[in-house]
Amino acid sequence: MKAAIITIGDEILIGQTIDTNSAWIGHHLHQLGIEIIENCSIQDKAQEIRETVDRLFKKSNFIIVTGGLGPTNDDITKETLTDYFGDELKMNEKVLGKIEDYFKKANKPMLEVHKSQALLPSQARVLENSLGTAAGMWFKDGEKNLISLPGVPYEMRQLITDTLPVIQEEFNIAAYYQRTVHFQGIVESTLADENSEFEKECRAQGIGMAYLPSVGIVRIRLTGKPEQKEEIDQRIEQIGSKYPKYCFGYDDINLAQAVGDLLSTKNVTVGTVESCTSGALAAKITSISGSSNYFMGSIVSYANRIKSDMVGVSTDDLIQYGAVSQQVVESMAKNGRKKLNVDYCISTSGIAGPGGGTPEKPVGTIWIAVDSEKGTFSRCFNFRHNRERNLESTVVYAMNFLRRVMLDLQS
């Protein structure tokens, strides 16, 4: 089965809002075995909507649209789609009651304009929104299906989650089985080269294998039939156990969660002393619910004065070796562990760019250190990307460096 995704709104087109909806929808439809043939962003204009829907229905019989369902006059998606499917808008009393309850519970006045969100196409299936006031709509015309959802990400995600079982049943989608293994610190080409025979064996058994790279991380996904579950489980464990330094988990886990689980299991605490990442590492660690059980705090020591006055880095070391050096980053980790009273302390210092680089220390030179009762471990990385990617890479590599130290895999 093939599907297409449309996101509607000028705020997406001009870069005010980043389109995360299509990525999230695409991921979850793919999990059902639905092939995404296209996603596009368009203006909330009737002609644009009609032409795009017409074009995509020539390639697919299933379209998901997000955005354009607000109560203001410039939100015309609902009216346009209702007209496109030859329907008419009628007041939905059930939805109106839910909108009234929503504003009552929020202790906010309900304006007349909000009532318009209960005007819904009479023949479409209404998808109730438990987190907001804009209901979703499922239009159907013969084999053509279009689901229109609000553009607010958390509302859209809840509606999609509630609707996925219905989509699977509606289109009689065959089940399949899928596993994913996650690696950090090893590149896609190395994994592909070292596992070419493994890949051939998988494909010979009808098991699909895909490499999915992102910044500092590569995922390998195996996909097959439900009856191949045991074989896929064995193979995914086989390839993960081959790389203990790099493999941090399986399936839906992310690196911050994997590190947090390890800290919790070992019943230890962690803190950070950050220069170039300026708190981004702490933010990533604490993005996990329950992280207060193991994350104690952070010192952002961006300036050398803060490194010396607050962290206790030697002024002589800063002058002789520079802030971006093994001596300084190790001192940051050692002193930070004492000041924060934690079991592990991670420190970062580097040249993120675009300025500040020298022939000896070019842009992308990053030092990371971890201090614990086991000792102090440090490593220099040379990322040499743009500023944003250098910082993102630093956070990812720092978390896995901590994981490796905790598991005695730091060499």
| DSSP 8-state assignment for residue 332 | H
Identify residue 198 by its one-letter amino acid code.
Answer: F
**Cβ contacts of residue 174 below 8 Å, gap of 6+?**
33
Contacts from 109-118 at CB under 8 Å and sequence distance 24+?
111/71, 113/71, 113/72, 114/71, 115/91, 116/71, 117/69, 117/71, 118/91, 118/92, 118/93
Sorting pLDDT into bands at 50, 70 and 90, what band is 112? Answer: confident
User: In the prediction, which pLDDT does 385 show?
Assistant: 87
Does residue 325 register a pLDDT over 90? yes
259: left (phi over 0), alpha (psi -120 to 50) or beta: alpha
Cis? peptide before 354, omega within 30° of 0 = yes
Does residue 175 register a pLDDT over 80? no
User: In the prediction, which pLDDT does 300 show?
Assistant: 98
Count of Cβ atoms closer than 10 Å to residue 359 Cβ: 5
Q: What's the mean pLDDT in 397-410?
A: 96
Angstrom distances, CA of residue 176 to CA of 198, 225, 239, 264, 307: 21, 5, 21, 33, 53
Domains in the chain (CATH in brackets) are 2-170 (3.40.980.10), 177-250 (3.30.70.600), 255-406 (3.90.950.20)
Identify residue 316 by its one-letter amino acid code.
Answer: D
User: In the prediction, which pLDDT does 172 show?
Assistant: 86
Sorting pLDDT into bands at 50, 70 and 90, what band is 113? Answer: confident
Model confidence over 280-313: pLDDT tens digits? Answer: 999 999 999 999 999 999 999 999 999 999 999 9
* Residue 306 to residue 349: CA distance in whole angstroms: 13
Give the chain's radius of gyration (CA, Å): 26
Does residue 130 register a pLDDT over 90? no
User: Average pLDDT of the chain?
Assistant: 95
Model confidence over 199-230: pLDDT tens digits? Answer: 999 999 999 999 999 999 999 999 999 999 99
Backbone angles phi, psi at 85, to 5 degrees: -90, 10
Task: Supply 154's token pair.
Answer: 């958390």
327 burial level (CB within 10 Å; 0-12, 13-18, 19+): middle
Count of Cβ atoms closer than 10 Å to residue 399 Cβ: 25
Angstrom distances, CA of residue 187 to CA of 220, 249, 283, 398: 12, 16, 25, 16
Is the distance from CB of 221 to CB of 209 less than 8 angstroms? yes
User: In the prediction, which pLDDT does 322 show?
Assistant: 97
Provide the 3-class DSSP secondary structure of residue 84.
Answer: helix
Does residue 119 register a pLDDT over 80? yes
52: left (phi over 0), alpha (psi -120 to 50) or beta: alpha
* Residue 44 to residue 26: CA distance in whole angstroms: 21
Model confidence over 341-373: pLDDT tens digits? Answer: 999 999 999 999 999 999 999 999 999 999 999
Does residue 411 register a pLDDT over 80? no
Model confidence over 48-94: pLDDT tens digits? Answer: 999 999 999 999 999 999 999 988 888 899 999 999 999 999 999 99
**CA nearest to 35, candidates 59, 61, 4:** 4
H runs (alpha helix) in 85-213: 93-105, 112-115, 153-170, 188-194, 196-204
Q: What's the mean pLDDT in 128-132?
A: 89
H runs (alpha helix) in 60-124: 77-84, 93-105, 112-115
Give the rounded percent of residues in the chain with a pLDDT score beyond 90.
89
User: In the prediction, which pLDDT does 344 show?
Assistant: 98
**CA nearest to 34, candidates 65, 4, 7:** 4
